[in-house]
Structure 1
Amino acid sequence: MSRPASPLTETPAAAAFSRQSAHFDSTYGSNDIIAYKRARVRAATVRWLRPGSRILELNAGTGEDALYLAGQGHRVHATDLSTGMLEALGRKVRAAGAGDSVTWEQCSFEALDGLQHRGPFDHLFSNFGGLNCTGDLPSVLRQASVLLRPGGTATLVIIPPFCLWETLLLFKGEFRTALRRFFSHGGRTATIDGLPFTCWYYSPRAVRRMVAEEFDVLDLEGLCTLVPPSYRERFPQRWPRLYRILQRLEDRFKSSRPWRGIGDYFIITLRKKS
């Protein structure tokens, strides 16, 4: 484990997630849709990992994915700018006795070059839209690329500017939710636990352009395209049969057009060029 000599200044997004860290696991741990999302992301990740990979995780949150990947025999260096999230992660790693496999460090997206002494890594991992908290994703990806060995891979889960499910909420009169991603080129205000911060949305096409010089795209999947977004957490209990049908359909068409680009998220897997 390593920590900075003194805590870094949190961005508004990091401060919001620090506040949320106190109840994050209890709030979302029983959400069936989040469980489905995690299973999908993990399957898309481990598919490309070599045994005993060294993984750099960005926006690690409370450490759920870091501990899972460590349990698969990998070593994870988990980073986040949120003090609260890292404190929760540290408690979970110590309770699991996983300190030999999971290390953690407070780090900003804008300071990834400070991790060069820890590289090179075999894989870069970022889940559930953490990268949407930066308005300069090309710079973040360039810095991250330097930390990967040639041929190393990356799994990034990013929120796109269009979500089919959210757009359909127009018909329910939920206009604020349905339109919140539209006209978002300069970023849109999001709120967690009463704290506002700016969120930027990136399409698969835009991310492909950002990484074209340094990465090849190995795979692209839509996530929560037919399955509803996880904030519709009661959907699986209210309509269990329909929910199972939507799961099967999404699993079948996740990599097909147009589904791979119109979900609540997309999963893009990259390989660094030699």
Structure 2
Amino acid sequence: MNAASDARFWDRTSRRYAKSAIGDPAGYERTLERTRALLRPDSRVLELGCGTGTTALRLAADAGSYLATDISAGMIAIANEKLAASPVPALAFRIATAEALAQEAARFDIVMGFNYLHLVRDLPGTLRSIHGLLAAQGLFISKTPCVGDMNPLIRLLLPAMRAIGAAPYASAFREAELKQHMEAAGFEILAVEDHATKGTENRPCIVARKR
């Protein structure tokens, strides 16, 4: 299993994913509101793991430029279909990873990763790439499940589900571990917030600044 197999998983499930409902709509709206408050009309924004573009289409009008990326060509194809139906001048979608983008010259004022970090295979390396993608004092906004703090049955089921192709790769770090990795990558954590309005998942919204 590798990044290419991850991309194939999301390609296979992209149409079904696009039809799925948001699990906690009120919590999602709270995260959008919190994020929007950090955007400026001239902000250069990068979203990693954008999926089918739902969040990008909601936020891009509040930024100067907004590049939304995903590892899956299937997800990006659906995102571009949505964009064609409801154009947002500041928004562009692209197949890319944080590691690939870090090799380019572009730098961003804000990088976002929603439901993203638990899906990457090299968390410390990805966080270092994100740090490198940010301009001085840039912000990283993350909201992702901390599987290690959730029901132990989930941690037991994930490997079996991956083995039969029913789940993607997902790591099982705890919130404390995630914060440690972020600080080790060169971030100052400014805020850790719980936006959930239902359920018991630990999915902290973290705002961090590049040191």
TM range (shorter): 0.7 to 0.9
Residue from 97, 100, 108 that aligns with 1:111: 100
Which residue type is aligned with residue 13 of structure 1? D
Contact 2:142 2:207 in 1 (8 A): yes
Which residue type is aligned with residue 216 of structure 1? E
Aligned length: 207
Superposition pairs for residues 67-82 of structure 1, below 5 Å? 67-82=57-72
- Between the aligned partners of 1:190 and 1:123, the Cα distance in structure 2 is 34
Which residue type is aligned with residue 9 of structure 2? A
Report the Cα offset of residue 113 of structure 1.
2.0
Q: Which residue of 1 aligns with 2:81?
A: 91
Q: Which residue of 1 aligns with 2:203?
A: 265
- Between the aligned partners of 1:189 and 1:136, the Cα distance in structure 2 is 21
Does residue 120 (structure 1) correspond to residue 107 (structure 2)? The answer is: yes
Report the Cα offset of residue 102 of structure 1.
1.1
State TM-score, norm by structure 1. Answer: 0.67
Q: Which residue of 1 aligns with 2:90?
A: 101
State TM-score, norm by structure 2. Answer: 0.86
Q: Which residue of 2 aligns with 1:250?
A: none
Q: Which residue of 1 aligns with 2:13?
A: 20
Which residue type is aligned with residue 75 of structure 1? S
Larger Rg: 1
Report the Cα offset of residue 69 of structure 1.
1.1
State the Cα deviation string for residues 5-30 of structure 1 (Å, max 9, x = none). xxxx96333222222221323222xx
Look up the SS of the partner of 1:228 in the other structure: coil
Contact 1:123 1:152 in 2 (8 A): yes
Contact 1:180 1:188 in 2 (8 A): no
- Between the aligned partners of 1:112 and 1:189, the Cα distance in structure 2 is 32
Q: Which residue of 2 aligns with 1:66?
A: 56
- Between the aligned partners of 1:209 and 1:42, the Cα distance in structure 2 is 25
State the Cα deviation string for residues 181-206 of structure 1 (Å, max 9, x = none). 36x9xx84545x95443210222221
In 2 relative to 1, CA 50–97 (structure 1 residues): closer, same or farther, beyond 3 Å? closer
Q: Which residue of 2 aligns with 1:200?
A: 171
Q: Which residue of 1 aligns with 2:187?
A: 215
Superposition pairs for residues 167-178 of structure 1, below 5 Å? 167=151
- Between the aligned partners of 2:136 and 2:187, the Cα distance in structure 1 is 10
Unaligned runs of 5+ in 2: none
Unaligned runs of 5+ in 1: 1-8, 168-177, 230-262
